[in-house]
Amino acid sequence: MRNNIIYSTIILLIISTSWANSRIAFSRPSTLLRTPSVQHIHPQENPYLFTAGFSTETINFDLPSLGTSIYLQTYTDNGFNIGFTYTTIADPRTKTQIDKTNTSFEIPTELGLHIQKTVYSAGNIKIDMGLSDIMARQWNGKSSFQNPSLYAIFSSYKDFDKFSMTYNFGFGSGKVALDEHILVEDFEESGKSPIGYFLGFNLLTPEIPRLKNRLNLLFELDGTSINMGAKLPLTDEYVISMGVVNFSGMGDLGNRSKVGQADVAVLSDASTICFGFEMNVPKLSRRNTTNPYGNPDMVYYTEDAVESLRDSLNNIIITTTDAYNAIADSIKFLTFSLENNEIENTSLYQKIAILEDSLYQRQNQQVVDVANYNKASRHISRALRYYYEQEYNQALIEIDQAIELNPNLAIAYARKGTIYYSMGQVQSASINWNIALKLDPEYDEVRDILEALKNNKLKSADIKQEAETD
């Protein structure tokens, strides 16, 4: 009867829990990216007191959108795997919303507790159960508690050659069933989640000589997407983690800032690039000492052990701060590059607009020039007709109107010189012929007339010939 009640309670919790909000890769008590996993080590053999670190998920580079988490994990002697997380959630807004508001995003924060316990162990097989994301959220001046995710894991490991493979298969609810690293609809909780499954593999490579440690390759299916990554131990205490969440959607990374995607928000299944850094703090060394107050069974920590712990904590703070500053500097550089690109694009658009305007004006000017040329030609034709009728004054009026319309017509000045010569005004004729030759150095008829005039050999036939030349 008691077992039936326990099983019924477990099933009820699994079915009733709903989606939690945000998960950052590597921040939960797990050897994988996002899904829970089992550590195949006896609690008494665990050499570390706790693990501390931070992790990030970059969702968009063009419009920087970054989720971060600071975490603390410990593996107790009685078999509990406990983790604490402080998480800030990435900006999910569309580019259009960002451009319209021109304000910084009010980042929701979450404080979470995660508990896992081994319930069965035999040989290389373990079964764990746990509660993840027992979480309090602070956003928009409001605080709320989120429903946790309940899960169970079956795990086994196998050694072959110099490799070690760990298998993790489980099922659960909440984020285990369908993980949302952000909420699209104003960070409101979505509907109920069905029971979901997850699958994960850890592959430990042979020892890397230069690092004197083994690379941990990660692969998991979290129920909705495929995630891959790796953990690179720099030393026994320091580990760098990296990976990709929703690997199949990497082609759409950064869509929010692309042309035609300005109204696309960061979706719950968006791909992310993950990075993490952690430090494993060793357990304190102990020695039995005589209690000056008369209790010989009491255990004291040595001053050296306390100093070692203090140094380890200081190293965590310094390393975490340096890594955070490096990431912050990278984000500032990306932002600066985006701003410079925007300025350059604006300048380019202005230059293009000026060129387009100049081209438009040039086209209009060409139209005007053609129209003026046609009108000037008609005035020249009428002037020629008046010239033959010996109405020289009227002919000069027509020529002047042609010159007013197009001051660069050499033929107009040539005709004007001919008219003046016929009126007996040789000096005025010479001036206009020289203007015509200056405008058109290839005007041979005018050059011949000026040469004949210079040599006093100018004949009426030459004048008539020039007047009839088009």
- Tokens standing for 120? 């069965």
Question: Among 1.10.3260.10, 1.25.40.10, 3.30.565.10, 3.30.2130.10, what is the CATH number of 369-467?
Answer: 1.25.40.10
- Tokens standing for 238? 């320091």
What are the domain boundaries of the chain? 2-283, 369-467
CA distance 272 to 462: 89
Residue 62 corresponds to which amino acid?
Answer: D
Residues pairing with 465 in the sheet:
none
Nearest alpha carbon to residue 200 among 174, 175, 225, 181 = 225
The pLDDT of residue 268 is 61
Q: CB–CB of 251/266 below 8 Å?
A: no
How would CATH label the architecture of 2-283? Beta Barrel (2.40)
The pLDDT of residue 9 is 38
For the chain, what is the HEC assignment? CHHHHHHHHHHHHHHHCECCCCCCCCCCCCCCCCCCCCCCCCHHHCCEEEEEEEEEEEEECCCCEEEEEEEEEEECCCCEEEEEEEEECCCCCCHHHHHHHCCCCCCCEEEEEEEEEEEEEECCEEEEEEEEEEEEEEECCEEEEECCEEEEEEEEEEEECCEEEEEEEEEECHHHCCCCCCCCCCCCCCCECCCEEEEEEEEEEEEECCCCEEEEEEEEECCCCEEEEEEEECCCCEEEEEEEECHHHHHHCCHHHCCCCCCCCCCCCCCEEEEEEEEEEECCCEEECCCCCCCCCCEEECHHHHHHHHHHHHHHHHHHHHHHHHHHHHHHHHHHHHHHHHHHHHHHHHHHHHHHHHHHHHHHHHHHHHHHHHHHHHHHHHHHHHHHCCCHHHHHHHHHHHHHHCCCCHHHHHHHHHHHHHCCCHHHHHHHHHHHHHHCCCCHHHHHHHHHHHCCCCCHHHHHHHHCCC
- Tokens standing for 138? 């602070």
The pLDDT of residue 106 is 73
- Tokens standing for 176? 């285990």
CA atoms 25, 29, 31, 34: torsion sign: negative
**What backbone torsions phi and psi does residue 257 show, to the nearest 5 degrees?**
-100, 0
Whether 2-283 and 369-467 share one fold: the answer is no
pTM for the whole thing?
A: 0.53
Q: CB–CB of 105/93 below 8 Å?
A: yes
List all residues 6 or more positions away from 129 whose beta carbon is below 8 Å from its beta carbon. 116, 117, 119, 150, 151, 152, 153
Per-residue pLDDT of the chain (470 residues; tens, 9 = 90+): 444 444 443 333 333 333 333 468 888 888 898 888 998 877 767 788 889 998 998 887 666 678 899 999 998 878 888 998 998 877 777 777 777 766 666 777 888 888 999 999 888 899 999 988 888 877 777 777 777 888 899 999 888 888 889 989 998 876 665 444 444 444 444 444 456 788 999 998 988 877 678 889 999 988 778 999 999 888 878 999 999 988 877 766 766 656 566 666 666 667 888 999 999 998 875 444 444 434 444 444 556 666 777 777 777 778 777 777 777 777 777 777 777 777 777 777 676 766 665 655 555 555 556 777 888 888 888 888 898 888 999 999 999 998 998 888 888 898 898 899 889 898 998 999 999 889 888 888 888 888 888 887 776 555 655 555 55
- Tokens standing for 92? 């999910």
